[in-house]
Amino acid sequence: MLKLRNTLTRTLEEFKPLEGNKVRMYACGPTVYDYGHIGNFRTFVSVDVLRRYLKYLDYEVQHIMNITDIEDKIIRGMLSSGRSLEEFTGFYTQEFLKDCDSMNIERPEIMPFATRHLPQMIEIMKRLADAGHTYQSDGSLYFSISSFPGYGKLSGLKLEGNIAGARVDVDEYEKADARDFVLWKAAKEEGEPRWPSPFGEGRPGWHLECSAMSMEYLGESFDIHCGGVDLIFPHHENEIAQSEGATGKPFVNFWVHTEFLLVEGEKMSKSKGNYYTVRQLIEQGYSPDAIRYLLLSVPYRTQLNFTMEGLRGAETALEGIRNFRRRVADYDSQGESHTRVRDLTERAREGFEAGMNDDLNTSRALAAMFEFRRDVNTAMDAGEFGGGDREAVLEVLGRIDSVLGVLGEEQAQMLDPEIERRIEERYAARRARDFTLADQIRSELAERGIILEDTSQGTKWKRK
């Protein structure tokens, strides 16, 4: 039984969908004004692991991730780039999706854009206005937090000392500055994107879009809402106020928040400049699988300190598991399957699930996989491994990796004549001074575990 720590109740709870076997989940997506950094991707990878594990447990998952394509930073970026809003956000959306692909993140069922859901946002504002939760000031519409008694229940904010009627217009602010927040901002600056509404011409505040799009696709009450811990306040607190203020129903059953990726003890963020993008690390020669492995190797509720050494460690750990998988796949035995290996596969599956069921404790789940590798290797060394065991071991590894998503496809073992043919082609390329092709052949072989060594007697090769 899967247990998740619920930010709202501050307890570990058994997960049960609201309706049958269907899980409706919403995750806050990227603000598309720049490339994402690996801190952002820690959150997106953890949501992907949750999604994949729910599918592993045979739930039918409906997962929505919005794209924030209108917001303070976007407007600043768009105005200084001289491009239109669509061009500016369209570019970064495509780049975000490319990074998701390289991080092996599955596509959510729907990825809605904020700017295409203005009618739904206007509808919520009307309902809030009718219920007495709003007021207008200087052409903007505000949510009055004192009108919603549950305000603060997610973040644990106490409202005493809050100045009634004091307002904030910006999208992000600290808990100490809790104020009435803007739902709809009057258009001010020249060139600022704007839309018509019953409250005047303007644009939505950031928080409104997630209430509008989650309820549009998942209904007024749904199962899981995810995001990084920095979204608990004000973003998710405000989403609850808007949604429950409009519908009078509980908005979300489980709130699941991913802790920060740190660099030298500080949150990795754009504004601090202490960040790496996925593409920067790939350019430096790190594999996207290792980045993903590193990000998920620590449970999502624990902070993770990023170091290059940690990333190199992830490459090594991953290589170790791939070598193990290759050894099993290549193990030449026709014999029967052994009870010992059968017990080990059963234990690996149970260990993995026990870890994952414990609030997605990925480090426990990985430990079960490493133990499995050690014990199966011992069984192979002892010759207690038959042809029938091969499939069973590969099947468990495949099941585990359907959640972790780090091992990639097994490449067929390269046969000796094929390797020799490629070495000859490389030799010919070098004679023709086509060093690009020669290097390409060398790195292709290296990727498949073949190391070349040029000697005075010609090129020798060995398997890694």
- Give residues in contact with Zn ion (CB under 5 A): 28, 210
Q: 170 CB contacts (<8 Å, ≥6 apart)?
A: 72
Selected range binding ligand AMP among 35-43, 282-290, 322-330, 425-433, rule: CB under 6 A:
35-43
> How far, in Å, CA of 231 to CA of 240, rounded?
12
Q: Which is nearer to ligand AMP, 99 or 389 (CB)?
A: 99
Q: Which is nearer to Zn ion, 31 or 297 (CB)?
A: 31
Q: Which is nearer to ligand AMP, 40 or 242 (CB)?
A: 40
Q: Which of residues 219-278 bind ligand AMP (CB under 6 A)?
A: 227-228, 230-231, 258, 260-261, 267-269
Whole-number minimum distance, CB 310 to ligand AMP, in Å?
Answer: 15
Q: Which is nearer to ligand AMP, 67 or 321 (CB)?
A: 67
4, 23, 28, 75: residue in contact with ligand AMP (rule CB under 6 A)? 28
Whole-number minimum distance, CB 288 to ligand AMP, in Å?
Answer: 17
Hunting for tokens 């794209």 — which residue is that?
67
Residue 39 interacts, among Zn ion, ligand AMP, none and using kind-specific CB cut-offs from 5 to 8 Å, with: ligand AMP
Whole-number minimum distance, CB 268 to ligand AMP, in Å?
Answer: 4
DSSP code at position 145: G
> Contact at 8 Å (CB) between 186 and 140?
yes
Question: Per DSSP, what are the bridge partners of residue 3?
Answer: 14, 358
Whole-number minimum distance, CB 366 to ligand AMP, in Å?
Answer: 19
Residue 242 interacts, among Zn ion, ligand AMP, none and using kind-specific CB cut-offs from 5 to 8 Å, with: none
Residue 43 interacts, among ligand AMP, Zn ion, none and using kind-specific CB cut-offs from 5 to 8 Å, with: ligand AMP
Paired tokens of 463? 């398997």
6, 7, 31, 345: residue in contact with ligand AMP (rule CB under 6 A)? 31
Q: Which is nearer to ligand AMP, 26 or 286 (CB)?
A: 26
Q: 371 CB contacts (<8 Å, ≥6 apart)?
A: 348, 351
Longest CA span, the chain: 87
Residue 379 interacts, among ligand AMP, Zn ion, none and using kind-specific CB cut-offs from 5 to 8 Å, with: none
Paired tokens of 75? 């407007």
Q: Is 287 among the residues that bind ligand AMP (CB under 6 A)?
A: no
Residue 210 interacts, among Zn ion, ligand AMP, none and using kind-specific CB cut-offs from 5 to 8 Å, with: Zn ion
First to last CA, the chain: 41
369 phi/psi in degrees, rounded to 5: -70, -40
**Distance, CA of 103 to chain centre:** 9
For residue 164, the tally of other CB atoms under 10 A from its CB is 10
> How far, in Å, CA of 455 to CA of 464, rounded?
18
Hunting for tokens 């644990």 — which residue is that?
156
* Helical axes 435-447 vs 416-431, angle rounded to 10°: 160
Whole-number minimum distance, CB 334 to Zn ion, in Å?
Answer: 56
Whole-number minimum distance, CB 107 to ligand AMP, in Å?
Answer: 17
Amino acid identity of 162? N
Whole-number minimum distance, CB 229 to ligand AMP, in Å?
Answer: 7
Whole-number minimum distance, CB 301 to ligand AMP, in Å?
Answer: 12
| Enclosing H/E stretch for 27 | strand 22-27
8, 15, 26, 42: residue in contact with ligand AMP (rule CB under 6 A)? 42
Q: Is 93 among the residues that bind ligand AMP (CB under 6 A)?
A: no
What Å distances lie between residue 35 and 73, 277, 292, CA to CA?
Answer: 13, 7, 17
Whole-number minimum distance, CB 423 to ligand AMP, in Å?
Answer: 45
Residue 34 interacts, among Zn ion, ligand AMP, none and using kind-specific CB cut-offs from 5 to 8 Å, with: none
Label residues 262-299 b or e (16+ Cβ within 10 Å = b): bbeeebbbbeeebbbbbeebeeeebbbbbbbbbbbbbb
Positions that interact with ligand AMP (CB under 6 A): 28, 30-31, 39-40, 42-43, 227-228, 230-231, 258, 260-261, 267-269
